Amino acid sequence: MAKATREAYGEALKKLAANNPNVVVLDADLSGSTKTSEFKKVSPERFFNVGIAEQNLIGTAAGMSLAGKIPFASSFAMFAAGRAFEIIRNTVAYPFLNVKIAATHAGLTVGEDGASHQAIEDISLMRSIPNMTVINPADCIEAEQAVLKAAEYVGPVYIRLGRMAVEDVYSSSYQFEIGKGVELKNGNDVTIIATGIMVQKALKAAASLNAQGIDARVINIHTIKPIDKEIIIKAAIETRAIVTVEEHSVIGGLGSAVLEVLSDTCPVPVRRIGVMDTFGESGKPEDLMEKYMLTEKNIEDSCKEIMKMK
């Protein structure tokens, strides 16, 4: 059943409420949307609403971590990564505090709320900060495990979650590991490196390419920082052509991260699919994905084009 990754966040928080007494959850008046309300239901004494005040959300979480707690702080990606950027940078990441920022409603698929709420810069912002781990799960199975692993890991983590329901990419036997990319489909003609909710589209594009005689490899980079260099370099060596796919600006996100790895090691032609240095707008998520060229067809076309550049 299709579910939004934020739903998996709520489920994971319920498990943490039961299993980890040090976990506390903070929200900035969006608990019903971010799903931190699930934690509040089972552990109200460890849930703190700070009101509409995202800077204070992060600063308070930082203080709680300094007193031994494992705080999960949530808001929409725009306000968590955007509004509170400098507090995350100076007060959380610089002293390597054990604060988890779980940001929902990332990307264009926020939909009808429009550009003011569509964070397409958050990966770029968060990954530019030293000490930060940045995770962008593909489906609910991965999202739930990512949240649980983030609670175990000691240090700052940014987890990017979506509003829109997505199909499962993984089965329940999947084992998520921070920093370890996953090859979902083998292939030797071209590699599609995708992250977040674009992974399912990458898999569908690869299946369609397969029917046309093109053998595409598909890699899920759920951890954008620290990035799995090995899996990327291996794909570059073996397929000599790469397409990156993300629901994020083409500036500074997964595409940029892949280019940084490859320009240092194994430069091959790369095509980046993402939002092309522009703001989003209101609309149904699927209409926006169409208009901003984030479809399976776009992935397929890019694979064919990049293969010509080999």
Residue count at the site for other proteins (CB under 8 A)? 29
Q: In the beta sheet, which residues pair with residue 102?
A: 74, 159
Nearer residue to other proteins within complex by CB, 78 or 84: 84
For residues 242 and 269, what is the distance between their CA atoms, to the nearest angstrom? 6
Contact residue for other proteins among 12, 16, 24, 219 (CB under 8 A): 24
- Give the active site residue among 38, 54, 121, 300: 54
156 is a contact residue toward other proteins (CB under 8 A):
no
Contact between residue 247 and residue 198 where contact means Cβ atoms under 8 Å apart: yes
Nearer residue to other proteins within complex by CB, 55 or 208: 55
Stretch that binds other proteins, among 1-9, 53-61, 115-123, 241-249 (CB under 8 A): 53-61
To the nearest whole angstrom, how small is the minimum distance from the Cβ of residue 226 to other proteins?
19
Nearer residue to other proteins within complex by CB, 59 or 137: 59
> Within 13 Å of residue 206, how many CA atoms lie on the same side as its CB?
28
200 is a contact residue toward other proteins (CB under 8 A):
no
To the nearest whole angstrom, how small is the minimum distance from the Cβ of residue 224 to other proteins?
24
Contact residue for other proteins among 8, 50, 194, 231 (CB under 8 A): 50
Q: In the beta sheet, which residues pair with residue 272?
A: 244
Nearer residue to other proteins within complex by CB, 50 or 166: 50
Stretch that binds other proteins, among 52-60, 183-191, 202-210, 293-301 (CB under 8 A): 52-60
Stretch that binds other proteins, among 55-63, 116-124, 259-267, 268-276 (CB under 8 A): 55-63
68 is a contact residue toward other proteins (CB under 8 A):
yes
Site string for other proteins, 79-98 (x = CB under 8 A): -------xx--xx--xxx--
To the nearest whole angstrom, how small is the minimum distance from the Cβ of residue 21 to other proteins?
10
How far is the CA of 300 from the CAs of 175, 245, 307, in angstroms?
A: 28, 11, 11
Stretch that binds other proteins, among 59-67, 187-195, 242-250, 285-293 (CB under 8 A): 59-67
101 is a contact residue toward other proteins (CB under 8 A):
no
List residues near other proteins by CB under 8 A.
Answer: 24, 45-46, 48, 50-51, 53, 55-56, 58-69, 71, 86-87, 90-91, 94-96
Catalytic residues: 54
